[in-house]
Amino acid sequence: MIFLVPLKKYAVFSGVASRKEFWMFFLFSFALYVVAMILDYAMGTVDFETGIGIFYVITLLAFFLPTLALTVRRLHDTNRSGWMYLLLFIPFVNIYIFCVIAFFSSRSDSRFGSGDGLQGTSFLD
């Protein structure tokens, strides 16, 4: 159950996270967001002006810190500083960060620790 590992390491910003760990958690959290939205609409807890409901907000707040920590560890896996996460707030630069997280291979020689044994380079290296 690799998608639960980030919840166990919800505030661990050191170390590395593999692509598989990142994407499995992304899919798991996306599914929970969809379930939360369905619950909001079914129970009538949605503010129709904003489209946001209480279950969605609770899920969003619960997953904020684990997602942040996982993204920082994913950047560490590509041998980049976690501070690069702040570049997500700059238009067009955020596309670069997304590509780094999504496509760069895990490295065994990362200065932040070793990954899950996946080595090699990707087409973006």
The string of pLDDT tens digits covering residues 83-115 is 888 888 888 888 888 888 877 766 666 677 766
Beta bridge partners of 47: 52
Nearest to 32 by CA among 58, 12, 10: 58
Q: What residue has token string 């998608």?
A: 3
- The total of structural domains in the chain comes to 1
Domain-located, residue 114: no
Domain-located, residue 109: no
Domain-located, residue 46: yes
Domain-located, residue 2: no
- Residue 118: per-residue pLDDT: 42
Domain-located, residue 117: no
pTM equals: 0.79
Domain-located, residue 55: yes
Angle of helix 54-77 relative to helix 19-43, nearest 10 degrees? 170
How many whole angstroms from its chain centre is CA 53?
22
Q: What is the pLDDT of residues 9-57, one digit of tens each?
A: 989 999 888 888 999 999 999 999 999 999 999 999 999 888 899 999 9
